[in-house]
Copies of this chain bind each other. A is one copy, B any other.
Amino acid sequence: MNPKSAEILCIGTEILMGDIVNTNAAYIAKELTVLGINTYHQSVVGDNPGRLKEALDLAFSRADIVITTGGLGPTYDDLSKETIAGWFGRKLVLHQPSLDAIVRYHEKSGKPMTDNNRKQAYMPEGSAIFDNPSGTAPGCAIEQDGKIAIMLPGPPSEMKPMFDNCAAPYLMKLSGETLVSHTLHFYGIGESALEDRLRALMEESKNPTVAPYAKTGEVQLRVTAKAAAKEAAEALIKPMVERLQAEVGEFIYGVDVGDLQTAAVKLLLEKGLQAAAAESCTGGYVAKRLTDVSGSSAAFQYGFVTYSNEAKVKMLGVSPETLEKYSAISPETAAEMAAGARRVSGADIAVAVTGNAGPAPSEGKAVGEVYVAVDSPWYNETQRLDFFRHDEDAREYIRYLASSRALYLVLKAAKLFS
């Protein structure tokens, strides 16, 4: 069987009420695209067996595969398994390994186990069971008469690993293939510019595929190959990654590195370097993002949030004359902030950010005028950024992108150390 079309059916009254955003549908949709499975419909229904049954009728009239999320919990209104098993004419039977796992989960977490949790170990007869190491609800797949239902739990922290570790391999096994992906991380080029440069390559590439993922301020390209075995898939990917390195390598800051802060901290740790940050308009965002990365304490120890002129003088030794002559929002102040942060902290690399993140002009500077400076023994630079955005999200946008540039400059400076 070579599955070609799937529908995503998310079950939960809390989604219908708008209490939670349905991130599961986007996650599954993206992964199905990578698997080469088309999706033409996504639907949401509440925890209502009648409407769920109707939704199954409709979805299976349009597609061979229906992937559901939600309704696998322990409470009385969690009825997905019963309803979907019933749709296939199957009973629920005790799956002892799942019960054992649920017992172990409760022992480990110290939460009391109720009779309802036992219910979660009853699975559709003859289904393929998907373990849930992150929670109590196992998932499963039923295949019958060319129709496949895949049931996943609702919480994204349980659904995502189960999709990756169980559902995706299950779907690939149907086609007898294995899937391998690598992600190239780009900074300094927009998604549309990157697509313009790589359009022919992306369109002609079927295996591996090359798919762009835009994130705020950066772009990722995921290169994905299908093959009978992992090694063969890797062999398909390798020349494509080399080709991308040759064509747009100047914008690639890493492969499979997660994000800018993770890449920066990883390189700092590898090289035994220390970074410091001095922040005005970003107000701690650079430090926050660096310390998002576990293990960052060995690479980042000093952050200075200097949100006033006085603080810049007192904490970083910025000269009052510079502030007076050029203002706090100037390349001169940014450079002195970075130099001061490196001097006070003794770090190898320091970055500084100063600017106007809005919403009103400040120090005579327009909203969106930002300076980012880096100070290190080998590399010193101050860059000016201009953001032309004035909506209600502009402040967050400007602060985030300015902090991204600071992280990128840390990475760039760290690369120059041996």
Which residues of A are interface residues toward B (Cβ below 8 A)?
Answer: 15-23, 25-33, 39-46, 48, 51, 55, 58, 109-110, 134, 157, 213-214, 277, 279, 281-288, 290-292, 294, 296-297, 300-308, 310-311, 314-315, 344-345, 357-360, 388, 391-393, 395-396, 399
What is the CA–CA distance of A17 and B29 in the complex, to the nearest angstrom? Answer: 5
What is the CA–CA distance of A339 and B44 in the complex, to the nearest angstrom? Answer: 52
What is the CA–CA distance of A307 and B391 in the complex, to the nearest angstrom? Answer: 35
Residues of B within 8 A of A315 (CB): 302, 304, 315, 344
Contact between B41 and A44, CB atoms less than 8 A apart:
yes
Contact between A29 and B15, CB atoms less than 8 A apart:
yes
CB contact under 8 A between A42 and B44, given known A22-B22, A291-B283, A395-B292: yes
Q: A264 to nearest B CB, angstroms?
A: 14
Contact between B294 and A283, CB atoms less than 8 A apart:
no
Contact between B43 and A18, CB atoms less than 8 A apart:
no
Q: A147 to nearest B CB, angstroms?
A: 20
CB contact under 8 A between A296 and B310, given known A25-B22, A305-B304: no
Q: A164 to nearest B CB, angstroms?
A: 12
Residue of B nearest to A42 (CB): B44
Contact between B284 and A303, CB atoms less than 8 A apart:
yes
Residues of B within 8 A of A314 (CB): 344
Task: From the candidates B26, B277, B358, name the one contacting A305 in the complex (CB within 8 A).
Answer: B277
Residues of B within 8 A of A19 (CB): 26, 30, 213-214
CB contact under 8 A between A304 and B304, given known A17-B30, A30-B17: yes
What is the CA–CA distance of A74 and B282 in the complex, to the nearest angstrom? Answer: 35
Contact between A297 and B308, CB atoms less than 8 A apart:
yes
A-B contact pairs, 14 of them (CB 8 A): A16-B29, A16-B39, A18-B28, A20-B26, A41-B44, A109-B388, A277-B305, A283-B288, A283-B300, A291-B399, A301-B306, A302-B308, A303-B306, A315-B344
Contact between A33 and B46, CB atoms less than 8 A apart:
no
Q: Which of A22, A33, A291 has the most CB of B within 10 A?
A: A291
In the complex, besides A283-B287, A292-B395, 12 extra interface pairs with C-beta distance below 8 angstroms are A16-B40, A21-B26, A41-B51, A157-B393, A277-B284, A284-B287, A284-B303, A291-B307, A294-B359, A297-B308, A303-B306, A304-B304
Q: A206 to nearest B CB, angstroms?
A: 17
Contact between A26 and B22, CB atoms less than 8 A apart:
yes
Residues of B within 8 A of A45 (CB): 40-41
What is the CA–CA distance of A358 and B284 in the complex, to the nearest angstrom? Answer: 20
Residues of B within 8 A of A301 (CB): 306-308, 310-311
What is the CA–CA distance of A359 and B297 in the complex, to the nearest angstrom? Answer: 12
CB contact under 8 A between A21 and B18, given known A44-B42, A284-B287, A302-B311: no
Task: From the candidates B17, B157, B305, name the one contacting A284 in the complex (CB within 8 A).
Answer: B305
Residues of B within 8 A of A302 (CB): 305-308, 311, 315
Contact between B40 and A51, CB atoms less than 8 A apart:
yes
Residue of B nearest to A345 (CB): B311
Residues of B within 8 A of A284 (CB): 277, 279, 284-288, 291, 303, 305
Q: A235 to nearest B CB, angstroms?
A: 27
What is the CA–CA distance of A285 and B315 in the complex, to the nearest angstrom? Answer: 19
Contact between A294 and B395, CB atoms less than 8 A apart:
yes
Task: From the candidates B18, B214, B296, B358, name the one contacting A29 in the complex (CB within 8 A).
Answer: B18
Q: A89 to nearest B CB, angstroms?
A: 25
Contact between A31 and B18, CB atoms less than 8 A apart:
yes
What is the CA–CA distance of A399 and B293 in the complex, to the nearest angstrom? Answer: 12
Residues of B within 8 A of A305 (CB): 277, 284, 287, 291, 302-305
Contact between B288 and A391, CB atoms less than 8 A apart:
no
What is the CA–CA distance of A283 and B22 in the complex, to the nearest angstrom? Answer: 30
Q: A158 to nearest B CB, angstroms?
A: 9
